Chain A
């Protein structure tokens, strides 16, 4: 089992604030509606209004965040894999098949979730806010002698409330379909989601692929500026840039134990990060820079890495190859390797990639 960082602080904060607000609004709202008695009508109205004002403020913050960060794109519905996802919920899940889609920082939602959250965020919630505001403003309009019928507004508000409750039930239930029943909820509390090793591998790879896409774009955009080509540097630039999505991504990436390396066309290490060093520490390689990648490998492993190096230098990207490394005290450790060509001025000048330790 591995843990992968998925949810940022603000996301977790607004998620739980929304949760409590929606439940509290439902509780007080249905009391005002006459479904049961709890606080008393008077108090229920006051609390419902207060919660509504609070929610409106929180919603403004959330929407501001969504649009500033570009996160809103995650909510745009897409048709791709929607059938797979439906099939998974009605068939695959019972056969123990894996989720057809993966949760990453960049694509948190599967196509069904996208559809559901799009409906929630961009249809139901705005409707509830609009009808709620009309409800609150009713008396002000009435005072001017230009009132309006509150009945249809109230009906829409009630329909919205029922839909929200339905959403809550399904939403809570689907949280149990993660790696473990409570994995998803834990993730929403701590930010780190539990996954199987394979899943984690895929997700981290996906995260890195996205990050690399960003960094490569950066490299190409900078016109091959020699000073700006290392992965970490580009990543740092991204972080200090406007893209708030990247905030503490690097840190989390490193906490995921991802080792990064870059090797030039001659097979000499140009750059590795601390995690890489840590992973190779027990094999006696403290500082590989300037050394060949076959350093301290068994004959068997040498062949495999040479094969991989050739393929990648030839322009191929490989992902998730399982490799092993020998420690100085004779133990055998394992990691997965992903690598892609390292371009400079549209020419392959080496390879870069990352490794993830799979020994617990």
Chain B
């Protein structure tokens, strides 16, 4: 009895104490740096002045320029300010990782969707915050050409058409009287419609955001905070925060999650410790193109070809979520829904392939996103180490100059007789037009090069319940398939160690069992 008590005291009770401590103590728990309920999104939707009462706006405006003139009549200096912006210039000054200065933007960067804007401005300027940009003769210094309404219309009735001009049906007087801070609808007017349709280019931007549920986007949830784009893309003096990853080369002027959420936003230390390796987006944007299809493939090779002399379009569903379109206009396109992101190392810096850069690889990477596992461990810029980012990958084939080894600008949009591809279905004319417009030589022979571009996903942040769970990365079925250099517990193992360890244990076990059997036999 005494012995039993001693055993109890020496062994059983201490073990119970130790293991209950191990089980119940959670040193991983840390308080949140903020209370999410207390976050107040400041409301800027109301204008300080009722513009409908202003004499200057009580006119029957015939053109957009007239409205702009009226705006600038009071808002002096704003025009000069806006004309420096990317929304106006479609260009900005940026630096490469080696320090070289570059000027780039939508105006001069090729892409692997519609290829490029130059020579197609009649169409593309539909999304320019200005009036009348049709060709290189557009006056970027004339503030009257600014389109104030596309961003400040609060009636949701304003529309732009070709050359960036207002749709004639729009009641400019009404719109001008109802101006206000930019809403989701204003930004979405252009940004939802990249490549011509919802989700088309980015895969994470569509008109669904205008009025969405919590499951679709926690921030823009219409029944929740209902944040507008400018809540993150903070704008001051018409300079908008949040550079496009696909057209900027340095990690500057970003709209970041940490702005509000800090760099330790979780209640778990372990989760917070992922901050240096994993971008917020990686866990919190787990799907894209859930509401509308996004392009993942555009092969121009068979564009401008006809079937039996006729313009044609064949749409086929490969799977419920993916569709392939073969047609005269585009060649071959594949668009898909409900996609899971790809993951890459990315430190915010990029190299953009320009029209005058030589093609040295296939597939040609249109926007080389810098980043690597090594740059995560010992980063070039310790403030911005490479992190794992979710991206949409866009692939395709597009024309290039066989002799000059450069990408080709194609004049795609235009009426019959202008030489545009979609007017005359003639590659040579279209290329000549396009190359002339960007001032580049064309050797006369072209081929098609496979291209790839990366589109970091930043929008449609979903609720934490739907974010990635530990096991999504830390298991054999890890979503981080391609990233093999980083060691992920639960995913990675050394085959020789596993096999060796297992064999060792099996042999030991057999040895022990064999020894025991021999012993028992000897005893008998």
Could you tell me the distance between the alpha carbons of A148 and B377 in the complex, rounded to whole angstroms? 6
Could you tell me the distance between the alpha carbons of A207 and B522 in the complex, rounded to whole angstroms? 32
Kindly identify, within residues 461 to 475 of chain B, every residue whose CB is under 8 Å from any CB belonging to chain A.
Answer: 469-471, 474-475
The answer to whether A41 and B382 have CB atoms under 8 Å apart is no
Q: How far is the CB of B118 from chain A (nearest CB, A)?
A: 42
The answer to whether B270 and A158 have CB atoms under 8 Å apart is no
The answer to whether A16 and B15 have CB atoms under 8 Å apart is yes
Q: How far is the CB of B281 from chain A (nearest CB, A)?
A: 19
Q: With an 8 A cutoff between CB atoms, is B312 at the interface?
A: no
Contact surface of B with A, Cβ cutoff 8 Å: 3, 6-7, 10-11, 14-15, 18-19, 21-23, 25-28, 270, 273, 276-277, 376-379, 382, 385, 469-471, 474-476, 487, 489-494, 497-498, 500-502, 504-505, 508-509, 512, 515-516, 518-519, 521-523
Q: How far is the CB of A246 from chain B (nearest CB, A)?
A: 19
27 A–B contacts from the bound complex (CB under 8 Å): A17-B15, A17-B18, A32-B474, A34-B474, A34-B493, A54-B21, A89-B515, A93-B522, A95-B522, A142-B276, A142-B377, A145-B379, A145-B382, A145-B385, A151-B487, A155-B497, A161-B501, A162-B501, A166-B504, A166-B505, A169-B512, A170-B508, A173-B512, A173-B515, A189-B11, A190-B3, A190-B7
Contacts of B487 in A (CB 8 A): 149-151, 154
The answer to whether B25 and A169 have CB atoms under 8 Å apart is no
* Given A94-B518, A166-B505, A173-B516, also A34-B491 (CB < 8 A): yes
Contacts of A158 in B (CB 8 A): 493-494, 497-498, 501
Contacts of B476 in A (CB 8 A): 34
* Given A34-B490, A94-B518, also A147-B22 (CB < 8 A): no
Could you tell me the distance between the alpha carbons of A12 and B8 in the complex, rounded to whole angstroms? 12
Q: How far is the CB of B160 from chain A (nearest CB, A)?
A: 47
- Looking at A16, A34, A89, the one whose CB has the most chain B CB atoms below 10 A away is A34
Partner pick for A46 among B18, B28, B491, B516, CB 8 A cutoff? B28
The answer to whether B471 and A40 have CB atoms under 8 Å apart is yes
Could you tell me the distance between the alpha carbons of A51 and B515 in the complex, rounded to whole angstroms? 34
* Given A12-B11, A17-B14, A142-B277, also A47-B523 (CB < 8 A): no
Kindly identify, within residues 26 to 81 of chain A, every residue whose CB is under 8 Å from any CB belonging to chain B.
Answer: 32-34, 40-42, 45-47, 49-51, 53-54
Contacts of B277 in A (CB 8 A): 142
The answer to whether A155 and B10 have CB atoms under 8 Å apart is no
Q: With an 8 A cutoff between CB atoms, is A20 at the interface?
A: yes
Contacts of A165 in B (CB 8 A): 501, 505
Could you tell me the distance between the alpha carbons of A170 and B273 in the complex, rounded to whole angstroms? 39
The answer to whether A189 and B492 have CB atoms under 8 Å apart is no
Contact surface of A with B, Cβ cutoff 8 Å: 9, 12-13, 16-17, 20-21, 24, 32-34, 40-42, 45-47, 49-51, 53-54, 89, 93-96, 139, 142-151, 154-155, 158-159, 161-163, 165-166, 169-170, 173, 176-177, 189-190
The answer to whether B501 and A13 have CB atoms under 8 Å apart is no
Contacts of A169 in B (CB 8 A): 505, 508-509, 512
Q: Which residue of chain B has the shortest Cβ distance to A19 in the bound complex?
A: B15
The answer to whether B516 and A159 have CB atoms under 8 Å apart is no
Could you tell me the distance between the alpha carbons of A143 and B274 in the complex, rounded to whole angstroms? 10
The answer to whether A41 and B475 have CB atoms under 8 Å apart is yes
Q: How far is the CB of B420 from chain A (nearest CB, A)?
A: 52
Q: Is the interface of A mostly helix, strand, loop or mixed?
A: helix
Q: Which residue of chain A has the shortest Cβ distance to B491 in the bound complex?
A: A34
Besides A45-B470, A51-B22, A162-B501, 10 other A-B contacts (C-beta < 8 A) = A32-B474, A33-B489, A42-B469, A94-B522, A142-B276, A142-B277, A149-B377, A155-B494, A158-B498, A169-B512
Contacts of A49 in B (CB 8 A): 27-28
Contacts of A17 in B (CB 8 A): 14-15, 18
Q: How far is the CB of B510 from chain A (nearest CB, A)?
A: 10
Could you tell me the distance between the alpha carbons of A46 and B273 in the complex, rounded to whole angstroms? 14
Contacts of B501 in A (CB 8 A): 158-159, 161-162, 165
Could you tell me the distance between the alpha carbons of A279 and B508 in the complex, rounded to whole angstroms? 48
State the total of A-B contacts with C-beta under 8 angstroms. Answer: 134
Contacts of B15 in A (CB 8 A): 16-17, 20
Q: Which residue of chain A has the shortest Cβ distance to B476 in the bound complex?
A: A34
Partner pick for B10 among A13, A40, A41, A142, CB 8 A cutoff? A13
Contacts of B516 in A (CB 8 A): 173, 176
Partner pick for A13 among B11, B21, B509, CB 8 A cutoff? B11
Q: How far is the CB of A40 from chain B (nearest CB, A)?
A: 7
Q: Which residue of chain A has the shortest Cβ distance to B271 in the bound complex?
A: A42
The answer to whether A46 and B497 have CB atoms under 8 Å apart is no
Closest 8 CB pairs of A and B: A145-B382, A162-B501, A147-B377, A139-B273, A94-B522, A151-B487, A41-B470, A34-B490
Could you tell me the distance between the alpha carbons of A89 and B516 in the complex, rounded to whole angstroms? 11
Contacts of B27 in A (CB 8 A): 49-50, 53
The answer to whether A151 and B492 have CB atoms under 8 Å apart is yes
Could you tell me the distance between the alpha carbons of A147 and B490 in the complex, rounded to whole angstroms? 20
Q: How far is the CB of B413 from chain A (nearest CB, A)?
A: 48
Q: Which residue of chain A has the shortest Cβ distance to B511 in the bound complex?
A: A170
Could you tell me the distance between the alpha carbons of A32 and B22 in the complex, rounded to whole angstroms? 17
The answer to whether B22 and A54 have CB atoms under 8 Å apart is yes
Q: Which residue of chain A has the shortest Cβ distance to B507 in the bound complex?
A: A166
The answer to whether B10 and A32 have CB atoms under 8 Å apart is no
Could you tell me the distance between the alpha carbons of A118 and B349 in the complex, rounded to whole angstroms? 52
Could you tell me the distance between the alpha carbons of A46 and B490 in the complex, rounded to whole angstroms? 14
The answer to whether B11 and A41 have CB atoms under 8 Å apart is no
Partner pick for B22 among A13, A45, A50, CB 8 A cutoff? A50
Contacts of A155 in B (CB 8 A): 494, 497
Contacts of A144 in B (CB 8 A): 382
Contacts of B10 in A (CB 8 A): 9, 12-13
Partner pick for B14 among A13, A47, A143, A161, CB 8 A cutoff? A13
Could you tell me the distance between the alpha carbons of A96 and B523 in the complex, rounded to whole angstroms? 7
Contacts of B14 in A (CB 8 A): 13, 17
Could you tell me the distance between the alpha carbons of A53 and B21 in the complex, rounded to whole angstroms? 11
Could you tell me the distance between the alpha carbons of A51 and B522 in the complex, rounded to whole angstroms? 42
Contacts of A189 in B (CB 8 A): 7, 11
The answer to whether A41 and B504 have CB atoms under 8 Å apart is no
Could you tell me the distance between the alpha carbons of A142 and B10 in the complex, rounded to whole angstroms? 42
Contacts of B502 in A (CB 8 A): 162
The answer to whether A16 and B505 have CB atoms under 8 Å apart is no
Q: How far is the CB of A32 from chain B (nearest CB, A)?
A: 5
Could you tell me the distance between the alpha carbons of A230 and B320 in the complex, rounded to whole angstroms? 96
Q: Which residue of chain A has the shortest Cβ distance to B513 in the bound complex?
A: A173
The answer to whether A154 and B492 have CB atoms under 8 Å apart is yes
Contacts of B21 in A (CB 8 A): 50, 54
Could you tell me the distance between the alpha carbons of A166 and B491 in the complex, rounded to whole angstroms? 24
Q: How far is the CB of A316 from chain B (nearest CB, A)?
A: 39
Contacts of B515 in A (CB 8 A): 89, 173
Could you tell me the distance between the alpha carbons of A189 and B491 in the complex, rounded to whole angstroms? 40
Q: How far is the CB of B18 from chain A (nearest CB, A)?
A: 6
Could you tell me the distance between the alpha carbons of A352 and B400 in the complex, rounded to whole angstroms? 107
* Given A148-B377, A169-B508, A170-B508, also A20-B470 (CB < 8 A): no
Could you tell me the distance between the alpha carbons of A311 and B485 in the complex, rounded to whole angstroms? 78
Contacts of A159 in B (CB 8 A): 497, 501
Partner pick for A32 among B23, B379, B489, B518, CB 8 A cutoff? B489
Q: Which residue of chain B has the shortest Cβ distance to A146 in the bound complex?
A: B378
